[in-house]
Amino acid sequence: MKILTAEQLSEADKETMKIQDITSEELMERAATLVFKEIHKRLNGAPIPIKIFCGIGNNGGDGLVIARHLIQHDYQVKVYVVNYSDKRSDDFLANYEKLKEVTNNWPELIKEDTRFPEIGTGDFVIDAIFGIGLNRPVKGWTGDLVEHINDSGAFTLAIDMPSGLFTDQVPGEEAAVIEADYTLSFQNPKLVFYLPQTMDYSGELQILDIGLDKELLKSLDAQAFLIDKEEAAGMYHHRRSNTHKGDYGNVLIMGGSFGKIGSVLLTATAALRSGSGLCSLYIPGCGYNIVQTGLPEAMVLTDEDDKMLSAYPNNFDANVVCFGMGVGTEEKTKNALKELLENFSDPVVIDADGLNILSKDKELLDLLPENSILTPHPGELKRLIGEWEDDFEKLEMAKDFSEKYKVILVIKGAHTFTINGKSMYVNNSGNPGMSTAGSGDVLSGVITSFLGQGYEPVEAAVLGVFLHGLSGDIAASEFGLESLLAGDIAKNIGRAVKKLFERDAVEE
Ligand SMILES: NC(=O)C1=CN([C@@H]2O[C@H](COP(=O)(O)OP(=O)(O)OC[C@H]3O[C@@H](n4cnc5c(N)ncnc54)[C@H](O)[C@@H]3O)[C@@H](O)[C@H]2O)[C@@H](O)CC1
Ligand SMILES: Nc1ncnc2c1ncn2[C@@H]1O[C@H](COP(=O)(O)OP(=O)(O)O)[C@@H](O)[C@H]1O
Ligand SMILES: [K+]
């Protein structure tokens, strides 16, 4: 799904009104009624005190429409109008009048000197204060109200955006932002929902299709693409019957050092579990028995050094090489990487210490074959591209780096970002159980495998990241978050592929 900016979305609102010949009030009614239906589906008439905080713009207008429907369905609703300005929007005013027609319990005005209403932990708060129209940080008494809501401990549902959150910048230290438990956002996801600095504000996310014109949305340039099951399934290459192992790639994984042979074992297991036809490992001598015993399906070549990699096996005919897990950053090992980059012209996958070597000796970056895939976690990324002020700057720096060296960056995290020049792909699978040693090694194996099987490099990265996360989700549902081992992620890749083509109960 496309991630769009606030400007694109409000433009799409306006264009849709023209195309569908509807008023903005009608569009608001449509959007907010969908929100009401979601709430009604879950509350099912429960007599919980509902407190709706409405701004005076169109986000507040949504809040008023939701209030009207809830009142008409006999919910206990109290509406507060947060009077941060006197410039009420037309649709806010229209819906204010409509609300007065269905209740005598009129909205209460909250102004600068008003004592904030008490909010119990058992209340249900609806945040309709600011949406995508936010144009400056929320401070002063409005900020105090936002903090008051956050401190209440009540379940908070944000409409479109948690109030105080911008779509295109981080809120800033002093600014107040609603910490929502759930966000129902309109039409398309927003980038801030997925960035490490801001993702916690939105809580659980649901995107509501409010029926903006499909053709119009198709024509817009995405700020980024959110990758879910549907997008991943579209990238997957089905295996044909009439094939043999030579059709599925011959990958070489160069990794490990004394005490870190397990890492390369994880990568190779993941490559084979992801469908590689042939998988060979190039490791220091000390790992030979370990790997031959641990993974009989793999072939093993050893370096002349017993404890670390010191060379690249130039005579080995692989179609993809992955380098870096557990290798350390010794000079000898740097030479091994240099030899690889000087002798291999197809895309390579570089992870972990391979990245740290590149960071220490940036001249090596110029040797990277075009479309190579680099898979840094944030620490490795910082060493590679330098410090950033905030997540938005990080993404710009990463795009510049990707363009300059013509490589694909896979920035790992709760939502992994794959960056290919100006294009960004945001992963939407995975769970915190995957914050465990070796899960990155598994990811490199999955990506390497897909690259070896002939996927376009960016698809190998994006699909690999998604399946790695989905496999982690399957493993977590079996073992629980705490017990998840990186090896479990590798083992479940096949199940993850199957799941791509299963229909979820809710979709049916
Ligand atoms: N037809 C439409 O355009 C639709 C709009 N919808 C809703 O409309 C929202 C956008 O509405 P608006 O553009 O009216 O904007 P908001 O309701 O988000 O904000 C209202 C106004 O507050 C002012 N403001 C911004 N930051 C402020 C701050 N920190 N302190 C004080 N005042 C501040 C701005 O002048 C802004 O226009 C969406 O998020 C969505 O909820 C939906 O009803 C769907 C249809
Ligand atoms: N909270 C999380 N939610 C989703 N995925 C996660 C989470 N934590 C970690 N991961 C994933 O697990 C992997 C961790 O990689 P990395 O930090 O390199 O681990 P290691 O170096 O131990 O192999 C990445 O693919 C990352 O996206
Ligand atoms: K809001």
Among protein residues, the one whose CA lies closest to atom 1 of ligand 2: 432
- Under a CB-based contact definition with an 8 Å cutoff, are residues 185 and 208 in contact? yes
Is the pLDDT reported for residue 237 higher than 80? Answer: yes
CATH number for the domain that contains residue 498? 3.40.1190.20
**From the CB of 434, is ligand 2 less than 6 Å away?**
yes
pLDDT band at 173 (very low <50, low <70, confident <90, very high): confident
Q: How far apart are CA 65 and CA 45, in angstroms?
A: 18
Residue 75 lies in a domain: yes
Residue 225 lies in a domain: no
**Summary mean pLDDT of the chain:** 97
Q: Are residues 419 and 485 in the same domain?
A: yes
* Residue 487: domain span: 232-236+244-503
Q: Are residues 202 and 267 in the same domain?
A: no
> DSSP letter string over 335-367?
HHHHHHHHH--S-EEE-HHHHHHHHH-GGGGGG
Among protein residues, the one whose CA lies closest to atom 21 of ligand 2: 440
Q: Are residues 16 and 148 in the same domain?
A: yes
Q: Are residues 260 and 112 in the same domain?
A: no
The pLDDT score that the predictor gives to residue 505 is 61
Is the pLDDT reported for residue 508 higher than 70? Answer: no
For 167-187, what is the mean pLDDT? 95
Ligand 1 proximal residues by C-beta, below 6 Å: 10, 13, 24, 27-28, 31, 55, 57-62, 84-85, 89, 130-136, 138, 142, 159-161, 186
Q: Are residues 84 and 147 in the same domain?
A: yes
Q: How far apart are CA 352 and CA 330, in angstroms?
A: 14
Q: Are residues 289 and 214 in the same domain?
A: no
Identify the CA nearest to 291 among candidates 267, 254, 262, 270. 262
Taking the whole predicted model, whether its pTM rises above 0.90 is answered as yes
Task: Quote the number of domains for the chain.
Answer: 2
Instruction: List alpha helices for 214-254, DSSP H.
Output: 214-219, 229-235
Residues measured by CB to lie within 5 Å of ligand 3, the ion: 127, 158-159, 163
Q: How far apart are CA 235 and CA 454, in angstroms?
A: 12
Q: Are residues 140 and 257 in the same domain?
A: no
For 195-224, what is the mean pLDDT? 97
Q: Write down the ipTM of this complex.
A: 0.91
Give the β-pairing of 50-54 and 2-3. unpaired
Is the pLDDT reported for residue 507 higher than 80? Answer: no
CATH number for the domain that contains residue 144? 3.40.50.10260
Centre of ligand 3 from the C-alpha of residue 222, in Å: 23
Closest-lying ligand 2 atom to the alpha carbon of residue 469: 5
Residue type, 473: D
Q: How far apart are CA 79 and CA 398, in angstroms?
A: 44
Q: Are residues 47 and 183 in the same domain?
A: yes
The pLDDT score that the predictor gives to residue 506 is 55
Residue 226 lies in a domain: no
For 308-325, what is the mean pLDDT? 96
Q: Directed axis angle between helix 493-500 and helix 261-273, to 10°?
A: 30
Q: Are residues 248 and 214 in the same domain?
A: no
Q: How far apart are CA 480 and CA 152, in angstroms?
A: 30
Ligand closest to Cα of 66 equals: 1
Q: Are residues 180 and 90 in the same domain?
A: yes
Which helix H or strand E contains 169, and what residues bound it? none
Tens-digit pLDDT profile for residues 364-403: 999 999 999 999 999 999 999 999 999 999 999 999 999 9
Q: How far apart are CA 422 and CA 430, in angstroms?
A: 24
Q: Are residues 200 and 269 in the same domain?
A: no
**From the CB of 438, is ligand 2 less than 6 Å away?**
yes
Is the pLDDT reported for residue 361 higher than 50? Answer: yes
Tens-digit pLDDT profile for residues 128-141: 999 999 999 999 99
